[in-house]
């Protein structure tokens, strides 16, 4: 059977998942495009899949709902339509590994997605995200991660309380004014890097909880780097050793 | 005098500058926000400035046009309105320095802007951009550069012919399959790094003209980095020595 009406209950449910409150209530979120769905499948969180009529369900063990072109078009968030949507169980929990990147108020979806992608690339195992950051379930964030969000621990929390419990970690803040050149940073078994908001940097409360500070040496003409780039370079440097 | 009508010729001219053809014909482009206007002023390309009624013109030597709130709102490209617009002379030319980043088909405005910002930070002096890349005068590109576009040589050209003339440069391509780990790259006085399109990488024609190839070591789970991050890490590494 192919669903041809946007009034169908399954379609209404999918569209409602664009809303944060409904996502939280259901403990579900949706993703689009086969690349990212494939990563969700491999990590075991894919619950079911919506497939454009005429295409195959690549996963025999995942329930599949076939949908007409017109319905797919109405669902799609992008200019071009996707042939596949996946619905997944929410992935944030409270698991923390040894290499942690902490994000304090990141607002740009592209930056958050890019940082998650780079974190996996450079062998960080955990991304801790403040509640006032952009949602990890924002479609643009998910697209920018290129599916890497399913390969890392994701914690969304109030940073203040959370960092208090990380007392056996070496916690580095970033600060252009004071601190250690990132090329000379000390790498310890359990460590965390804090990246602040794009405009205002790290909040005072979190700044006070950092053990040391890092800066990236750069030309005086340039005041700062893009937050996604700065985070990626520091993680690259940790992984470089 | 304050302009209160969007039908005013000066306003019509400003709006027309959103169009690439008109920008090319006039040899002008516009920027918004005082941070970036300030960089344009310092580099000597600011021709005149549009100021929201009630605000001051910070540059005594630059002609100023005062504009009402309603008119500013209609001009603005962003959700919040700017108090200042600047009109500048186009800045791309054919000046090439010793440290060059070559961009082959970059499509995302945020990536292009971020790469220009990082290039200045890491002491690259020239950005060479293929004609099929996103326009450097796209408002989102300009915003992402944080004004750094006025602190670097910008060349927009057909890469194929341009690279042929760079025979005294060491030209590095990027390639995940073959090449040298970026940590072991050789840095020479005159060098260029080529970054390819976000999806398809470096075009065949340009690939054939590279002397050597670089890769960034990363976890197997991650296929690639964001193009802006990859470019920034390689420039960071060149500057790191």
- Do A70 and A121 lie in one domain? The reply is no
Neighbours of A179 (CB within 10 A): 17
DSSP string covering A159-199, please?
HHHHHHT-TTSEEEEE-SSSSEEGGG----SSEEEEEEBTT
- Do B152 and B233 lie in one domain? The reply is yes
- Do B103 and B186 lie in one domain? The reply is yes
Beta strands in chain B (DSSP E): 2-3, 28-32, 46-52, 64-67, 84-89, 99-104, 126-130, 153-157, 170-174, 180-181, 191-196, 212-215
- Do A194 and A148 lie in one domain? The reply is yes
Residue A240's DSSP bridge partners are none
- B233 closest CB neighbour out of A110, A223, A236: A236
Cα–Cα nearest to A118, from A145, A147, A154, A91: A145
Sign of CA dihedral B42, B46, B47, B49: negative
Q: Considering the domain boundaries, does residue A139 fall inside one? A: yes
- Do B182 and B119 lie in one domain? The reply is yes
- B121 closest CB neighbour out of A120, A121, A218: A218
Tell me, yes or no, if A233 comes closer than 8 A to chain B by beta carbon: yes
CB-CB contact of B182 with B237 (8 Å): yes
SS3 at position A64: strand
SS3 at position B38: helix
- Do A125 and A202 lie in one domain? The reply is yes
Q: Tell me the CATH number at B117.
A: 3.40.1280.10
Q: Considering the domain boundaries, does residue A94 fall inside one? A: no
Q: Tell me the CATH number at B49.
A: 3.30.1330.30
Q: Considering the domain boundaries, does residue B195 fall inside one? A: yes
Q: What domain range is A54 assigned to?
A: 2-89
Would the CB atoms of A229 and B228 count as touching at under 8 Å? yes
Q: Could you give the CA distance from residue B37 to residue A188 in angstroms, rounded to a whole number?
A: 43
- pLDDT band at residue B78 using 50, 70 and 90 as cut-offs: low
Q: pLDDT by residue (tens digit) across B97-146? A: 999 999 999 999 999 999 999 999 999 999 999 999 999 999 899 999 99
What does the pLDDT read at residue A26?
93
Q: A-B interface: how many C-beta pairs under 8 angstroms?
A: 86
Residue B173's DSSP bridge partners are B213
- pLDDT band at residue A178 using 50, 70 and 90 as cut-offs: confident
- Do A66 and A24 lie in one domain? The reply is yes
Q: Could you give the CA distance from residue A106 to residue A117 in angstroms, rounded to a whole number?
A: 15
Torsion on CA atoms B6, B113, B120, B118, rounded to nearest 10: 150
Does residue A13 surpass a pLDDT of 90? no
Q: pLDDT by residue (tens digit) across B169-188? A: 999 999 877 799 999 999 99
Q: Could you give the CA distance from residue A46 to residue A31 in angstroms, rounded to a whole number?
A: 10
| Residue ending a domain, choose from B71, B89, B107 | B89
Q: Considering the domain boundaries, does residue B120 fall inside one? A: yes
Kindly give the pairing relationship between strand B212-215 and strand A2-3.
unpaired
- Do B140 and B225 lie in one domain? The reply is yes
What does the pLDDT read at residue A77?
65
Highest mean pLDDT among A32-36, B10-14, B205-209: B205-209
Residues of chain A contacting B240 with CB distance shorter than 8 Å: 183
Does residue B48 surpass a pLDDT of 80? yes
* Sheet of strand B28-32: strand arrangement: B2-3, B64-67, B46-52, B84-89, B28-32
CB-CB contact of B99 with B125 (8 Å): yes
Tell me, yes or no, if A224 comes closer than 8 A to chain B by beta carbon: yes
| Residue ending a domain, choose from A58, A89, A120 | A89
- Do A123 and A62 lie in one domain? The reply is no
- Do A152 and A71 lie in one domain? The reply is no
Q: Considering the domain boundaries, does residue B58 fall inside one? A: yes
- Do A116 and A82 lie in one domain? The reply is no
Neighbours of B23 (CB within 10 A): 17
Round the average pLDDT of chain A to a whole number and report it. Answer: 93
- A122 closest CB neighbour out of B218, B236, B240: B218
Does residue A114 surpass a pLDDT of 90? yes
Tell me, yes or no, if B126 comes closer than 8 A to chain A by beta carbon: no
- Do B157 and B48 lie in one domain? The reply is no
| pTM, two decimal places | 0.93
ipTM of the predicted assembly exceeds 0.90 = yes
Burial B30-63 (b: 16+ CB within 10 A, else e): bbbbbebbbbbbeeebbebbbbbeeeebeeeebe
Tell me, yes or no, if B239 comes closer than 8 A to chain A by beta carbon: yes
User: Which of B108, B195, B233, B237 has the most A C-beta neighbours within 10 Å, making it the best mutation to test the interface with A?
Assistant: B233
Q: Considering the domain boundaries, does residue B94 fall inside one? A: no
Domain tally for chain A? Answer: 2
Residue B30's DSSP bridge partners are B87
CB-CB contact of A235 with B217 (8 Å): no
Tell me, yes or no, if B241 comes closer than 8 A to chain A by beta carbon: no
- pLDDT band at residue A79 using 50, 70 and 90 as cut-offs: low
| Residue ending a domain, choose from A89, A115, A138 | A89
Q: Å from A148 to nearest chain B CA?
A: 7
- B117 closest CB neighbour out of A117, A144, A226: A226
Q: Is A146 left (phi over 0), alpha (psi -120 to 50) or beta?
A: left
Q: Considering the domain boundaries, does residue B11 fall inside one? A: yes
Tell me, yes or no, if A221 comes closer than 8 A to chain B by beta carbon: yes
- B148 closest CB neighbour out of A222, A229, A233: A222
Q: Considering the domain boundaries, does residue B149 fall inside one? A: yes
Would the CB atoms of A226 and B228 count as touching at under 8 Å? yes
Check residues A176 and A135 and name the one with the higher pLDDT: A135
For A129, the token pair is 């995200």
């Amino acid at each position: 059977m192919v669903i041809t009406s946007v009034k169908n209950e399954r379609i209404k449910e999918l569209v409602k998942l664009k809303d944060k409150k409904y996502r939280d209530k259901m403990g579900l979120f949706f993703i689009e495009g086969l690349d990212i769905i494939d990563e969700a499948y491999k990590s075991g969180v894919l619950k079911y899949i919506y497939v454009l009529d005429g295409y195959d369900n690549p996963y025999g063990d995942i329930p599949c709902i076939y949908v007409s072109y017109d319905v797919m078009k109405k669902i799609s968030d992008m200019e071009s339509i996707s042939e596949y949507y996946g619905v997944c169980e929410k992935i944030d929990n409270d698991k923390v590994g040894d290499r942690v990147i902490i994000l304090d108020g990141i607002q740009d979806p592209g930056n958050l997605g890019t940082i998650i992608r780079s974190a996996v690339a450079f062998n960080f195992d955990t991304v801790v995200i403040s509640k006032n950051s952009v949602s990890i379930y924002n479609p643009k964030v998910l697209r920018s991660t290129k599916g890497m969000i399913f390969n890392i621990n994701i914690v969304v929390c109030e940073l203040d309380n959370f960092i208090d419990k990380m007392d056996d970690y070496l916690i580095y803040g970033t600060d252009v004014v004071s601190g250690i050149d990132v090329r000379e940073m000390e790498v310890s078994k359990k460590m965390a890097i804090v990246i602040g908001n794009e405009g205002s940097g790290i909040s005072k409360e979190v700044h006070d909880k950092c053990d040391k500070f890092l800066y990236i040496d750069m030309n005086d003409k340039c005041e700062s780097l893009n937050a996604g780039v700065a985070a990626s370079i520091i993680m690259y440097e940790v992984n470089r050793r």
